[in-house]
Amino acid sequence: MRRVIYRLGWPGTIALLCVMGFICMALFAPWLAPYPAQGAGAPNVVAKLSPPSADYWFGTDHLGRDVLSRVIYATRISLSNGILIVGFSLLIGLPIGLAAGYFGGWVDEALMRVTDVFLAFPALLLAVLMAAAMGPGFLNSVIAVAVTWWPWYARLARAEGMVLRGQPYVEAARLAGVSHPRIILRHILPATGRPLTVQAALDVGPALLTAAALSFLGLGVLPPDADWGQMVDAGRKFFPARWWYSVAPGLTIFLVALSFSVLGDALRDRTKGPSRASA
Amino acid sequence: MNIIRYILRRMVLSAFVVVGVTFLVFTVAQVVPSDPAALYAGPRPSAEQIAKARVELNLDAPLPTRFLTFASAMATGDFGVSYKSRRLILEDLKAYLPATLELAVFSTAIALLFGVPLGVMAAARQGRWFDRLASLSAIASVAMPTFFLAMLLQLIFSQWLGVMPLSGRTSREVGITDPVAQVTGFLLIDSLLAGRPAAFGNAMLHLILPALTLASYPAGVAMRLTRSAMIEILQRRHITAARALGLSQRRILFGHALPNAMGPALTVIGLSFAFALTGAVLVEIIFAWPGLGRYVSEAILAKDFPVIAAVTMVVTICYVVMNLIIDVAQALVDPRVALT
């Protein structure tokens, strides 16, 4: 613990704990939620839209469900949304970027121009276009965001591939007659793993923000499932008079995204060298 | 010479990107699972009506032909007809674009006005409490979901404090009873042209909350970029020389260091503009702002695909052109850019 604090600094450590806390919230939702049945979607019409109280810490929604329980259950969808977006994006971006960086020449030029086209779109708008074309739903919204997300990994992987291509051990492998796909898969991919996984893990926060925006526009999960963005949107009909309905999930999105970016900053400072560790 | 070659290369690449963007929008239009002809034909269409719509929309032609038709229509501004309202999309765009641009220009200005000076001051006090506080708020502003910030500002400033209007572009008294004559479509300019300071003030008041919402993210980015650029520049020798000459801190920061950090400011202008154009989708529905964003979000709910495609095309091309201008400006300000 002490070593973690020393390495990440206090803000980074708190952020790390928050991220771990949210992951626990997703895993143990049925045990943590005060009203598990309502969290899963069962209505409770006797307590429609009641303000925050000792019984319902964050108030209740238009079907009388405890907003806190709903937020805790929504963690499962929102977090897996973020993780899947990053996962899908790596799946597309990594091979394309590594191939571009490793082969260079016209392969690089062609792949990177395609990447440029995707980067030319304002990300949210392309995601909206995709999601609108495919219709709302959990998997569709993941794919829609991943389509706008992968070019960043393609660029990162390309830079890595270009550096590693010239490494002696890669040249040795090539002289030994190892095929190109095998070199990329067995010799280059493992070496790019570390910097990219750190980046990817931190991107779960921003990815989740974009996914929340799609849900807010009605392009994410459909009721009775809920994620945070969709809850904020559902609460908008009763806003601002019944503000708690939207404020609780909104603040949660903010906290998760904040934790990821503070953690990201702490890690980035750490890699810069020991001089800043004291700051 | 290098700079001219760089600019030409950027222009060719941008042209290529525009073609690619058109192709991508067209491709996404092809995977719509719901039949566009059925949507076009109206509610509960008969088989004949759908068949007729297929002919009208040219859906039976081979794909390459359809792409060429699509691309040439986009190039001439013929975005087709909205499935829902049957109005010409081009006319709608003309009506809604100024409101969104007004918002975009204002939020960009706010972002720069707050972000850049805060970044300079944070860099000058690196590691001290002011720097930490400013850096933390910059991170917070980047992590804040736009749509939630919009609602939060509404809740605090309109509902609780009652100092700001909740939504809309003007009050009902100005908007409906006594509208300002439309000349440019930019309400601030139009009300000044009409010589009506009260209407101008009213429009300004309505602009503040949505513009602040959209400015928050780019202001945070501007602060962080300016801060890191300034920290690097403050260690250079000409700053030490200026210090040795006994120049005041303010003159060193704003006269000698900041001009060298203009690169990030240019980047932020582009980023902020793009963010305002896309963020408009989220912010305009909350503030009932009659712009492109609200137009798209209504189209999303109505599955009005031509509208979504048209707005995506227009905004993306604005974005590509903006990026091109900024790249060129950056190369002119800092010739080293052209070398890479």
The answer to whether B291 faces chain A, any CB pair under 8 Å, is no
Judged by CB atoms closer than 8 Å, whether chains meet at A122 and B282 is answered as: no
- Would you say residue B58 lies in a domain? no
Cβ pair A86, A207 in contact under 8 A: yes
DSSP A60: B
Buried b (16+ CB within 10 A) or exposed e, B79-113: bbbbbbeeeebbebbebbbbbbbbbbbbbbebbbe
| Model pLDDT for residues A148-175, shown as the tens digit of each residue | 999 989 988 898 888 888 888 888 888 8
Asked if A222 and A142 count as a contact pair (C-beta separation under 8 A), the reply is no
Report whether pLDDT(A277) > 50: no
What's the whole-number mean pLDDT along residues A127-133?
86
Look at residue B25 and tell me if it is in a domain: no
Q: How far apart are CA B199 and CA B191, in angstroms?
A: 6
In this structure, is residue B64 part of a structural domain? Answer: no
Q: Answer for the pair A62, A49: CB distance below 8 angstroms, yes or no.
A: yes
Condensed to tens digits (0 to 9), the pLDDT of residues B95-120 reads 888 888 889 889 989 998 999 889 98
Q: Which residues of A touch B136 (CB under 8 A)?
A: 11
Yes or no: say if A208 and A86 are a contact pair by the CB < 8 Å rule.
no
Q: How confident is the model at residue A278 (pLDDT cuts 50, 70, 90)?
A: very low
- Name which of A20-34, A46-60, B291-305 the model is least confident about: A46-60
- Average pLDDT on B204-214 reads 89
Residue pair A148/A206 in contact by the 8 Å Cβ criterion: no
C-beta separation of B233 from B251 below 8 A = no
Look up the CATH number of the domain holding residue A45. 1.10.3720.10
What residues make up the domain containing A205? 2-278
Q: Which of A6-10, A15-19, A43-47, B186-190 is modeled with the greatest confidence?
A: A15-19
- The predicted-structure confidence for A245-258, as pLDDT tens digits, reads as follows 889 999 999 999 99
Residue to substitute from A10, A115, A121, A209, interface B, most B β-carbons within 10 A: A121
How many domains, chain A? 1
In the numeric block, which tokens belong to residue A279? Answer: 């700051």
A247–B contact, CB cutoff 8 A: yes
| Angle at alpha carbon of residue B245, lines to B241 and B250, rounded to 5° | 90
pLDDT for position A276: 36
Domain residues for the domain of B199 are: 89-339
Q: With 50 as the cut, is the pLDDT of residue B44 above it?
A: yes
Instruction: With beta carbons under 8 A apart, name residues in chain B contacting A133.
Output: 28-29, 31-33, 305
Using 50, 70 and 90 to split pLDDT, how confident is the model at A86? very high
For residue A190, pLDDT beyond 60? yes
Decide if B185 is inside a domain. yes
The answer to whether residue A274 scores a pLDDT higher than 60 is: no
Count of A-B CB contacts under 8 Å: 146
Across chain B, mean pLDDT equals 83
Residue of A nearest to B21 (CA): A117
Residue A219, helix vs strand vs coil = coil
Percent residues over pLDDT 90 in chain B: 8
Within 10 angstroms of residue A84's Cβ, the number of other Cβ atoms is 20
Burial class for B160, CB neighbours closer than 10 Å (0-12, 13-18, 19+) = exposed
Q: So what's the pLDDT on residue A273?
A: 43
pLDDT score of B173? 62
**pLDDT reported for residue A251:** 92
Contact between residue B318 and residue B30 where contact means Cβ atoms under 8 Å apart: no
Does any domain span residue B174?
yes
Chain A CA closest to residue B294: A217
DSSP 3-state assignment of A66?
A: strand
**Assigned token pair, A94:** 């990594």
- Residue B12 placed within a domain: no
Residue pair B188/B105 in contact (Cβ under 8 Å)? The answer is: no
3-state SS of chain A: helix, strand, coil percent to 5?
80, 0, 20
> What pLDDT does A279 receive?
31
Give the model's pLDDT for residue B30.
65
Q: How far apart are CA B183 and CA B250, in angstroms?
A: 43
Report residue B13 as tokens: 């690449």
Structural domain contains residue B218: yes
* pTM, entire model: 0.86
Whether B209 and B105 have beta carbons less than 8 Å apart is answered as no
CATH of the domain at B131: 1.10.3720.10
- Alpha helix segments (H runs only) across chain B: 2-30, 36-40, 47-56, 63-75, 89-124, 129-143, 146-153, 172, 187-193, 197-233, 237-244, 249-250, 262-286, 292-301, 305-333
Q: How far is A37 from chain B (nearest CA, A)?
A: 27
Highest mean pLDDT: which of A119-123, B10-14, B303-307?
B10-14
Question: Is there a contact between B304 and B86 (Cβ–Cβ < 8 Å)?
Answer: no
How many domains are there within chain B?
1
- B62 belongs to a structural domain: no
**Distance separating alpha carbons of residues B257 and B212, to the nearest angstrom:** 28
Nearest to B277 by CA among B99, B92, B14: B99
Average pLDDT for residues B3-13, to the nearest whole number? 86
> What confidence category does residue A201 fall into, taking pLDDT thresholds of 50, 70 and 90?
confident
* Three-state DSSP state, A24: helix
